Amino acid sequence: MAASESRVTVCQTWGRTPRRWPVRRNGRGTGGYAIALTALVWAVAVPGVAFADPKPPSRSLEDVHKEVEGLYRQAEAATDAYNAADEATRRQEKSIVEIAKNAAAAQERMNRLRNQAGSLARAQYRDGSMPPQVRLFLSASPQTFLEGLALTHKGEAATRGLIAEAAATQKDLDGYAKAASKRWRTLDDERKRKESAKREIESKLSAARALESRLEEKEKERLRQLEEDRARQQQKQWLSSDAVKGVTLKDAGSATGDGKRAVAFATAQIGKNYVWGAEGPDTFDCSGLTLKAWAAAGRPIPRTSQEQWRQLPKVDVKDMRPGDLIIYFADASHVGMYVGDGTMVHAPRPGRQVTTAGAGSMPVLGVVRPG
């Protein structure tokens, strides 16, 4: 070995004979490799410099519960948006059908008026001349012709009526065409909103199910228990709150006839699965259940919990009676039906069935009365 070279010993902790690596003093050679290898040996051999474990820390079941509930809440809010867009889509479709019927009727009137005008023209053609009435109807500027035309016989009034009716009918046809175009654009917008809400629902539900799927069966049961414990705690707090403190909550016998029918329908659905966007008969979402319950009582109400809150008469919590609807959360995204004795029936969320629960087991926004 040349005199300009020295040797560096690298100890290898796995028990092999030490190796010597040449290092050139002029900076060239394998000195860089020696340094890199030394760093690697220290990373392996020295405590505290090992690579971190990529496995994430375990999460408490309480944290999982909060995240799952949050995802289901977001899915329910999106479901209300979906239902609203679905209802709006139905209204637009119905409106377009009505416009088409009106346009068809107007077109029939126009055809009749043209036939009448044609009959006048043919009659005059047979006589060899063109009466003022027909010249008026066919004129490029009927109004100018009328202003300069003397009323010489009785038929002229009828002709003017014919022209006026034809002009009004044409205006109707133009209006129907514009209205139909506007309705189609609105319908397209509502369909896009509906699809967007559907994608959000499916995304949130997929994330919630993915979290739950990682749990063992005993953990899933414990998760359900956490839900029930939380609901009981909130019910207890609600019963002791100023909203109902000292109030005798009405029982089932205090309902009106319509209220009793609505309650009977809703409670008969207990055990049926929650499915977002469903209105029965075999599955329901929260507002689908209240919608059909009051329909069974002969009272149509809005489709979504948000519209039920916005449109139906509000009553104080202390005055609620069986059949009234309890609206939950600040965004009015959930609804249940009061059935008496501090209890309500509702369709909770995906993965659950229609059931009874404490009327205060969720944050109460207010109470509305369909009838």
* Catalytic, out of 11, 65, 153, 346: 346
| One-letter amino acid of 113 | L
* Catalytic, out of 11, 65, 153, 286: 286
Q: How far apart are CA 191 and CA 178, in angstroms?
A: 20
Residue in 85, 302, 109, 98 with CA at minimum distance from that of residue 187 = 85
Q: How many CA atoms lie within 13 A of 268 on its CB side?
A: 12
SS3 334: strand
Q: How far apart are CA 314 and CA 368, in angstroms?
A: 4
- Respond yes or no: is residue 65 known to be catalytic: no
**Alpha carbon 166 to its chain's center:** 45
- Respond yes or no: is residue 11 known to be catalytic: no
Residues 102, 103, 108, 110: is their CA dihedral positive or negative? positive
Enclosing H/E stretch for 88: helix 61-127
**Alpha carbon 232 to its chain's center:** 29
Instruction: Tell me how far apart the terminal alpha carbons of the chain are, to the nearest angstrom.
Output: 105
- Respond yes or no: is residue 153 known to be catalytic: no
* Catalytic, out of 11, 65, 153, 334: 334
Active-site annotation, residues: 286, 334, 346
